[in-house]
Amino acid sequence: MSNPWRETQGYSFHSICYRVKDIEESTMFYQNVFGMDLVREADFGRFRKVWMRFPTNKDTDMFGHAHSLIELVQECGTEFDPHYNVQARGGGFQYMCFSVPDIHAARHRFEGLGVHWEEVGLSHSTMFIVHDPDGYPIQIMSQAFDLHLSLQDACRPIVIDGVEQAHMDIRRHGDRDTREEAGLSVPLTPATPASPASPARALTPSSPARRLSAASPVRARSPVSPGPALTMTPATVPRPPAP
């Protein structure tokens, strides 16, 4: 029989998230009224978020190890809408967040208990969502969240360079099927193979095909422009003289 108290050692209440109308006004409220500190803020284009908590002496804690935070989220533009009412839109509660020391072990444990989990916008290697019996969402976040983000930022240029190099190699040496699978453009007319009796002549450096860079997209061959239409005029046959 499993022991939830032993298996969940290191789990921590991280934050609670709810929607606000004006994130600047709400931030000032929690600062001036409750003396909370602004821990982190993020701009996702359509949404803005801030995380706040009471002052603590643990200034070196990583974000994933923080606890007892409030997370405020605002849809951009609502602060200018005089009729916008958070409570009239199903309430402002979004989710609770628990942090765990091992995100993969936690997900495996939930699966063993029959608890369904869902991916969120970020990779499920850093966080995912479960629901309690009443449907309230609970976000499960890795305590190594900052480390995962740092690794992603460090590896992103390597991944991009690797993908670009793979596309270059496919453009150079890949056949038609390989190009299609890679999502690259394919010439409409395949190249005509050289006749066995007439070996193909090597391309000169001035050949346009040689000057085409590997990074340039493969363009479809332009059809040959037809010449002027031929007008077929029937020949004039002389009539025999009348008898």
Residue-wise over 53-65: b if at least 16 C-beta within 10 A, else e? Answer: beeeeeeeeebbb
What's the rounded Cα separation, in Å, for the pair 74 and 50?
A: 9
CB 124 within 8 A of CB 107: yes
pLDDT the model gives residue 65: 79
pLDDT the model gives residue 66: 82
Q: Hey, which CATH number is domain 88-182, 3.40.50.1970, 3.30.720.120, 3.30.450.40, 3.40.640.10?
A: 3.30.720.120
Q: How confident is the model at residue 62 (pLDDT cuts 50, 70, 90)?
A: confident
Is residue 93 within a helix (H) or strand (E), and if so which, with residue range? Answer: strand 93-100
pLDDT the model gives residue 176: 62
100 backbone dihedrals φ, ψ, rounded to 5°: -130, 150
Burial class of residue 120 in the structure, from the number of CB atoms within 10 Å of its CB (0-12 exposed, 13-18 middle, 19+ buried): middle
* pLDDT (mean) for 75-83: 91
CATH of domain 12-81: 3.10.180.10
pLDDT the model gives residue 180: 59
Mean pLDDT score across all residues of the chain: 73
> 153: which DSSP letter?
H
Highest mean pLDDT among 39-43, 56-60, 84-88, 149-153: 39-43
Q: How confident is the model at residue 120 (pLDDT cuts 50, 70, 90)?
A: confident
Greater pLDDT, 19 or 242: 19
The domain limits of the chain are 12-81, 88-182
What's the rounded Cα separation, in Å, for the pair 58 and 71?
A: 19
177 to 11, 132, 145, 169, 170: CA distances (angstroms): 50, 48, 40, 14, 10
Burial class of residue 127 in the structure, from the number of CB atoms within 10 Å of its CB (0-12 exposed, 13-18 middle, 19+ buried): buried
